[in-house]
Chain A
Amino acid sequence: MSISAIIMMFIGCGIVWGGAIVTILIALAVDKKNSLKKNQNSL
């Protein structure tokens, strides 16, 4: 594969797959924070 094709593959996959992973991680972190808050309130 040519260098330009490899670079474009990494840019495309990196942004899209990276975007999916980052947004899922944000959702998980917020959910964790909310459940901790809930537990603290119930205590």
Chain B
Amino acid sequence: MRENWQSRKGFIFAAAGAAIGLGNLWRFPFQAYKNGGGAFLLPYLVALITCAIPLMIMEYAYGRKIRGGSVKAFSKLKKKFEVVGWVQVMVPIIVMTYYSAIISVSLIFMVYSLGHALGIINWLSNPGPVMGMVVGSAENAMDLGAGISIYILVAVIFVWVCNWLIVRKGISGGIEKMSTIFTPMLMILMVIFMINAIRLQGAAIGLEALFRPDFTKILDPSIWVSAYAQVFFSTTLAVGVMIAYGSYLHEKADVVNSAFITVFANASFDLIAGILVFSTLGYLVNDMGVEFTSFGTGAGVAFIAFPIAISTMSSNVVIQGLLGFIFFFCLFIAGISSSISMLESFTTAALDKFNISRKKLVSIISIVGLCGSVCFASYAGFNFILDIVDAYVGNIVIAGLGLVEVILISYIYGTKELRQEANAFSDFKVGKWWEYLLRYFTPVLLGVVVITNLFNLVTGLFNQDMAGIISNIVFGWGTVVIMIGASVIFYKRKWTTNAHQ
């Protein structure tokens, strides 16, 4: 008997928790900043309506109809397309191996913040040395002898144990229960942090930089590509997560409104993160005379800029430490709620095909994933290989899978049938516009995103030295080849359940 979500609230919290991740915190704010500020919001909103919502409805509706993960979903279209499903669920496992290393840094900083509050170590005003000690340094991606971070190694084991403990308990007993606590807690804490950040002196400078519209850029196609890429990657589409989550929906559950809520919740978090990050950076620009990009445009914002900002919010070290602890706890739960969904994507797919107990399967995946994460606990792994693997798997492969998914489901299963399926028990219904978007508009736009990303990746290779080119081939293309190879091996194995019949 297949499990179901126990409540609609539980399902939406789990899906929103899956979509909301660490990337929201630094990706959206800097995408907006680089691409015309407030003017970026226009293509961003159009992308939400024309890409994220239609695809989300499609994945929920198809998952609920098939009552299975990606592997079963694609094998139902045609036997040979099963391999696409395997590649799709392989992506989150690869992403998890490096994503858990980033979550680990939040965990380490949580512990250090407690140490700060207790007066053991005073680091928040100068996080550079602690960050350097945790992530170490290496010359390039091939410098594997540079060493391994014991801090990340220990923390990454803890992260995988958390994932294992939650996912092995199943949908209602594990993921739903944890998401019902984690997701609203994350939202409330981030809103409190955002309100606090707006009150800081200089916050207006940051908000001006984030929202001042530069409408001369609006006709630049690259801004539209960036907006579609941002929306697509941010909502955890095309990696089997939402198909798996949809498959546990009750057969008479709403699909359309739940998809709208999930996408709007994720976009709301994007904007909360944008206001939080740029208000804080505006404060630092005003106070220390730094630039908005002084702390980089990635994880450095969370792990360097925020500790400094927190240290200046109060002169009391206990309050500083506790604020730091709560902030990094937010990052930790944002990461965990996404990583459990990634683990569930593969678990659902494999349980459909192989007659194996959930506990045993989750244990095996967790051990294999942990072994992969050890690579990213190395200094070269965390500082270089992580970015390479993310560029190939996190950008190119996911967008490519999205393109293949939308074409296969729209043209083989049919958008008319899918629309009837989606509308059957929904709070409100989608019209024919949804079919046109899925059949024509979304594939073209995703195609442009894939080609643009691939072009940038290949041309970027020419600007690198020999070590950069070799490491891109070994770790970038190598990971893609291993992923596809593993997918073919799983595809070739016989079904030991009757789920495909």
Chain A contact residues, CB within 8 Å of chain B: 1-2, 4-9, 11-13, 15-17, 19-20, 23-24, 26-27, 30-31
Contacts and interface: CB of A to CB of B under 8 A. Distances in A.
A16 B273 CA distance: 13
B142 interface: no
Contacts of B261: 20, 23-24, 27
Q: A-side binding surface: helix, strand, loop or mixed? A: helix
A6 B211 CA distance: 7
Contacts of A26: 257, 427-428
A27 B258 CA distance: 8
Interface stretch (B55-63, B170-178, B262-270, B484-492): B262-270
24 contacts: A1-B207, A2-B208, A5-B38, A5-B210, A8-B39, A8-B212, A9-B38, A9-B211, A9-B275, A11-B41, A12-B38, A12-B44, A12-B211, A16-B48, A16-B268, A17-B271, A20-B261, A23-B257, A23-B264, A26-B257, A26-B427, A27-B261, A27-B427, A30-B257
Interface string B196-211: 0000000010011011
3 A-B pairs with least C-beta separation? A8-B38, A20-B264, A12-B41
Contact of A17 (B41, B254, B268): B268
Contact of A1 (B39, B45, B204, B427): B204
Interface of B: 8, 12, 37-39, 41, 44-45, 48, 204, 207-208, 210-213, 254, 257-258, 260-261, 264-265, 267-268, 270-271, 275, 427-428
Given A2-B212, A31-B8, A9 B207 contact: yes
A30 B211 contact: no
A30 B427 contact: yes
B211 A5 contact: yes
A27 B211 contact: no
Contact of B212 (A5, A19, A20, A31): A5
Nearest to A6: B211
Contacts of A17: 264, 268, 271
